[in-house]
Amino acid sequence: MLRSIRSEALKVVTTRAWWILAIVLFGYIALFAGGMAALFGTISDQADALGPGSSIPPLVYSFATSVGYVFPLLFGALATTTEFRHQTLTPTFLATPRRGEVLGSKVIVGAAWGAIFGVVGIVATVGVGGLILALVGVDPLLDSTDTWALLGRMVLAMALWGVIGVGLGVLVPNQVASIVIVLAFTQFVEPTLRIAAAFWEWSAEVGRFLPGAASDALVGSSFFTSLSAGGGANLLEWWQGGLVLAGYAVVFIVSGALTTWRRDVT
């Protein structure tokens, strides 16, 4: 198993996708967090408008996950679909014929790189966003254990998104289809569903279990939930959010393992 994990990690670092994604993630999140930090910082007198008890730094920091989760998701999906697309499953399965072992290694590597993306996103939000907050006179709260717990949960969320990406890639081996699903779902379908779900009580109950909502619950702070009516009240507990997110990962991986992963490699 260790050999297979090493091989999978080597596959990641010997191609360019991961650091291109990491650079884009950093730039994108730094821009978001920096801009929002400047905006909120200057209107901090009215910050209470964002919801009771919400404070600005966690909100800015959590952009790394609330906006950035698409990156580990995309990374994980690419990591598996690339093997189908370039038919590299042949050498992969020749070297490691026990396919479950290969998939397990991909899960571990997907989680590891998801966590790396989490750290990159945090460097962007805390580095750029925190700096700007400090500059405009808002306490960046970096001496607070709550802040560090938040950052830890963000890394965990990103790791889980990496695994979900791997699962999606196994379930939908067509690379283009997989990418379209990731982008459409994260940028359009889920945001729309979450807004729509908030209208009725029963749908709000269901909406909490959407993957993005579960992820925000796990992190415990998100720009989107703060904006929506009722603030974070609709979210699950952080550990429940984590379990729901992990549940998605397990369902995707297992159903992929039982279908496309078992197929003939021709």
Partner 1 sequence: MTGAVIEIQGLTKRFGRTTAVDDLTFRVEPGVVTGFLGPNGAGKTTTLRALLGLVRATSGTASFDGRSYTELGDPLRTVGTALEAASFHPGRSGRDHLRVAAAAAGIPTGRADEVIEWVGLGSAARRRVGGYSLGMRQRLGLAFALLGDPGVLVLDEPINGLDPEGIRWIRGFLRSLAAEGRTVLVSSHLLSEVQQTVDRVVIISRGRLVYQGTLDGLESGPGRVRVDAADRAALADAVTAAGGSIELAHDGLHVSGLDAEAVGRAALAAGVVLSLLVPEKEGLEDVFLELVGEGGIR
Interaction site with partner 1 (CB under 8 A) = 3-4, 6-7, 10-11, 14-17, 82, 86-98, 264-266
Is 86 or 192 the residue whose CB approaches partner 1 more closely? 86
3-state secondary structure of 23: helix
What residue type is assigned to position 56 of the chain? I
The least CB distance from residue 166 to partner 1, in Å, is: 17
The least CB distance from residue 64 to partner 1, in Å, is: 27
The least CB distance from residue 92 to partner 1, in Å, is: 7
Q: How far is CA 45 from CA 40, 83, 208, 221, in A?
A: 9, 52, 31, 20
- CA 28/CA 24 separation, integer angstroms: 6
Is 8 or 190 the residue whose CB approaches partner 1 more closely? 8
Is 140 or 256 the residue whose CB approaches partner 1 more closely? 256
Cα 86–Cα 87–Cα 93 angle in degrees, nearest 5: 135
Is 147 or 175 the residue whose CB approaches partner 1 more closely? 175
Q: Of 27, 71, 58, 56, which Cα lies nearest the Cα of 219?
A: 58
Q: CB–CB of 165/252 below 8 Å?
A: no
The least CB distance from residue 86 to partner 1, in Å, is: 5
Exposure on the CB side of residue 2, measured as CA atoms within 13 A: 0
Asked whether the CA dihedral 241, 82, 18, 70 is positive or negative, the reply is negative
Q: Of 84, 76, 77, 72, which Cα lies nearest the Cα of 24?
A: 72
Q: Of 101, 94, 70, which Cα lies nearest the Cα of 4?
A: 101
The least CB distance from residue 258 to partner 1, in Å, is: 14
The least CB distance from residue 94 to partner 1, in Å, is: 5
Tokens (6 digits) for 197? 């779900």
The least CB distance from residue 2 to partner 1, in Å, is: 9
Is 4 or 125 the residue whose CB approaches partner 1 more closely? 4
Is 6 or 230 the residue whose CB approaches partner 1 more closely? 6
9: number of Cβ within 10 Å: 15
Is 92 or 226 the residue whose CB approaches partner 1 more closely? 92
